[in-house]
Amino acid sequence: MKKYKALLFLLTSITSFSQELNKDCEAIEQKVIEWRRDFHQNPELSNREFETAKKIAKHLKSLGIETQENVAKTGVVGILKGKKTGKVLALRADIDALPVIERNDLTFKSNVKSTYLGKEVGVMHACGHDTHIAILMGVAEVLAKNKDKINGTVKFIFQPAEEGAPEGEEGGAELMVKEGVLKNPDVDAIFGLHISSGQDVGTITYKPGGIMAASQTFRIKVKGKQSHGSRPWASIDPIMISAKIIDALQTIISREVDLTNEGAVITVGKIDAGVRSNIIPESAEMIGTIRTLDYGMQKQINDRMKEMVPAIAKSYRAEATIEIEKGYPITYNNIDLTKQVLPTLQNVAGKENVHLIKAITGAEDFSFFQKEIPGFYFFLGGKTIGNNNPYPHHTPDFQIDESGMLLGVKTMTQLTLDFLNN
């Protein structure tokens, strides 16, 4: 009977605290929205998030949180110690934007310009990282207010360069791990989220095990022979050969890998060749991405691409080289940790709003943290209910419904307390 009463008291305390927590989260919703709009209007590219980092650090310091700056170039880390010692939990938000010209008609639309791969580009938070920053800043404020209820330590990791460091630079989660962000104090587990423009506001989706694909960038260079456009027989046309290579690469996916095992994707995202209409150029260059959810399939695809590309070029009397980067690992949710946190997700969002999904071919360098320690990554709804044509991520028209961010603040806050206190 005594044990039963003690358990009942504990459960009553947890429920009561959750209600207080909801009030604290709801009280800062408008601030979270304002922060998000500021970051959206002032985006910065990977490893160049200087002003973004300053704003984050200023906020953490104002909360009395121990703050480390210039981590992995422009990253910010905050350390909040609870009333009692215990486990250490990390919460992560990515902070970089993309080289995309925004096409939205928003009062806080981005008009920022920058340089990417030697070209002037627009800069836009076209993947929702602005919401991730604002959500984690909100979580930090709520937890700092309630630090006397925390048993353990929280590390707030604001990570630069999730979209990839500029050419020739290190960056992102991999560099953060290399610089020891999961040490001193040693982190026991890490949580992260990603808002989704295609998922209804008020919902959460998750998957145990591999939830997002490994991602690799490849670069192909084709060397042919230049000629006048009117005399193609005098040339070795690198553009035509590039087209043959692109076409052939897709046969690896459609005819060589077992897609009943896991999904896989090869995409050429950029091709650069020539200067004018009547000159067949001497060379062409392509860059693209490989997405795989199985490391055996990744090796198979890599090996075949390395065989196929130079062979196709040779058959047309040209030369071609291919380089494939190591890339990001599979984003893998620790099975036991997923089981542990699922009740919290269902408690905060409602069981009917938490859905199991299949793996997707998007990629996340959050996976570098998960290679070191148990991690859990989930998706947060950012689509207005009833919108049947949401714009996808990484596009000029990308938008999210800001009302979805409050659930992100509540969920990450409650996940933290449940993990550290139970």
Tally of CB atoms within 10 A around 422: 11
Q: Which residues pair with 157 in a beta bridge?
A: 77, 92
pLDDT of residue 15 exceeding 80, the answer is no
What is the three-class DSSP state of 224? coil
pLDDT at 17: 52
pLDDT at 231: 98
> Which residues belong to CATH 3.40.630.10 in the chain?
2-212+330-421
> Which residues belong to CATH 3.30.70.360 in the chain?
214-324
Place of tokens 């992100």: 408
CA 253, 358, 91, 51 torsion: positive or negative?
positive
Please give the CATH architecture assigned to the domain spanning 214-324: 2-Layer Sandwich (3.30)
pLDDT at 336: 98
Q: For residue 247, count CB atoms less than 10 angstroms from its CB and return exposed for 0-12, middle for 13-18, buried for 19 or more.
A: exposed
Please check whether residue 88 is in contact with residue 155, taking contact to mean a CB–CB distance below 8 angstroms.
yes
The per-residue pLDDT for range 243-255, each reduced to its tens digit, is 999 999 999 999 9
For residue 5, name the pLDDT band (cuts at 50, 70, 90): very low
Any idea which residues carry the catalytic annotation?
328, 402
Place of tokens 């209409």: 277
Place of tokens 């003690």: 6
pLDDT at 117: 85
Q: What does the angle CA 315 – CA 319 – CA 323 come to, to the nearest 5 degrees?
A: 115
2-212+330-421 belongs to which homologous superfamily?
Zn peptidases (3.40.630.10)
The per-residue pLDDT for range 346-388, each reduced to its tens digit, is 999 999 999 999 999 999 999 999 999 999 999 999 999 999 9
User: Considering the chain, what is the average pLDDT of its residues?
Assistant: 95
Mean pLDDT within 140-167? 96
pLDDT at 248: 98
Please check whether residue 208 is in contact with residue 376, taking contact to mean a CB–CB distance below 8 angstroms.
no
The per-residue pLDDT for range 308-325, each reduced to its tens digit, is 999 999 999 999 999 999
pTM score = 0.91
The strand ranges marked E within 148-292 are: 151-159, 189-200, 204-206, 209-212, 214-223, 227-228, 264-273, 279-280, 283-292
The per-residue pLDDT for range 172-228, each reduced to its tens digit, is 999 999 999 999 999 999 999 999 999 999 999 999 999 999 999 999 999 999 999
